[in-house]
Chain A
Amino acid sequence: MSQLPDQEETIVEPFTGGRLPPDDVVVAALRAGDETMFAALLDTWSRGMLWLARSHVSTNDSAEEIVQDTWLAVIRGIEGFEGRSSVKTWVYRILVNTAKKRGVRENRTVPWSSVFEQERPTVDRSRFQGVDDPFPGHWKELPTAWPTPEGEVLASEVRGRIAAALAELPPRQRAVITLRDVEGCTSEEVCEILEISAANQRVLLHRARAAVRGRLEEYFETARRSA
């Protein structure tokens, strides 16, 4: 990707996650009333925001309202933004605070401060050899190789499976994996947004990824058997 020479070109590019211009450009554009830039942020971040909001409240409607309230707060607050964190972290922090208040009001709070995740292994113990087997702790049978997704149908089925797997995850795991792997946040950003430790972030992320991988494995296995 070549660096675009000037701001005017930068802001008419269609943005995808991680391709937004640097924060100072974003902030200057928003303060100048650049609607294209505001729309770009809206379209780039709203998905992650909806998912994260949904971790705190019980309905999609509530989650949407939280996201809307967050953007309204961003519009009001952009003049006063001091740049102590990235714009993205700032926006997501507003979201988390808005969502928490709403969650309390709806009497649905998720224990975000709890650091204890279950110590349960992420891969079923029965997949590995026991103490009386020749190689304790090693695979009984190797994981089956996955087909390389070919064609749009398979790809869209896989996407559907992944979306379903995400929806099944416990809220904290879902929030972390959405921010990291779907939205492309760094681990530092996730820790700051969710106010969790690096170690806790890693545990939640690992459990979530292992669960989604497991769902895909089941899907490919079923597809293989019925083929």
Chain B
Amino acid sequence: MKRFSCDEVVELVTVYLEGELDAPRGGRFEEHLGGCEGCERYLGQFRATIGALGELPPTALPGEARERLLAAFRDRGRP
């Protein structure tokens, strides 16, 4: 079976991380990674990017809007 080239591997990273590559293609993907420092590094950087995105600090609503919504919640159901 044809081996994946690096330019193919980089386009399959998300499908791979989602666990959506079928078994034969998943096997070829991992086989490529095992022998390719560049793609292994690319995958690592992709994972690091995803990790960093998950650590972005929350942006709260401006205090005023937040207070208004909390007040609306307190007053709910009242005439």
The binding surface of chain B is classed by DSSP as helix
Q: Nearest chain B CB to A200's CB is how many angstroms away?
A: 12
The A-contacting residues of B in range 1-54, CB under 8 angstroms, are: 5-8, 10-11, 13-15, 18, 20, 36-39, 41-42, 45-46, 48-50, 52-54
Other-chain contact of A206, B11, B48, B58, B74 (Cβ < 8 Å): B11
Contact B53 A143 (CB under 8 A): no
- Given that A68-B68, A68-B69, A143-B45 are known contacts, is A42 also in contact with B14, CB under 8 Å in the complex? no
Contact B45 A216 (CB under 8 A): yes
Docked Cα-Cα span, A159 to B58, in Å, equals: 12
Contact B57 A72 (CB under 8 A): no
Interface size counted on chain B using CB atoms at 8 A: 42
Contact A209 B50 (CB under 8 A): yes
For the A-B complex, the count of residue pairs with Cβ-Cβ distances under 8 Å equals 130
Contact A139 B6 (CB under 8 A): yes
Contact A138 B6 (CB under 8 A): yes
Contact indicator per residue, chain A 25-53, by CB within 8 Å of chain B (1) or not (0)? 00000000101001100111011001000
B62 is an interface residue with CB less than 8 A from chain A = yes
**Which of A5-13, A92-100, A122-130 lies on the face that meets chain B?**
A122-130
Contact B6 A137 (CB under 8 A): yes
Docked Cα-Cα span, A182 to B56, in Å, equals: 7
Nearest A residue to B41, CB-CB: A143
Please give, as numbers and ranges, the residues of chain A lying within 8 Å of B57 by CB-CB distance.
Answer: 159
Given A182-B56, A187-B18; 8 other pairs, CB 8 A cutoff: A75-B73, A123-B7, A139-B36, A181-B53, A184-B54, A205-B14, A206-B11, A210-B10
Q: Give B contacts to A, CB under 8 Å.
A: 5-8, 10-11, 13-15, 18, 20, 36-39, 41-42, 45-46, 48-50, 52-62, 65-66, 68-70, 72-74, 76
Q: Give A contacts to B, CB under 8 Å.
A: 33, 35, 38-39, 42-44, 46-47, 50, 64, 67-68, 71-72, 75-76, 121-123, 125, 128, 135-139, 142-143, 145-146, 158-159, 162-163, 177, 181-182, 184, 187, 202, 205-206, 209-210, 212-213, 216-217
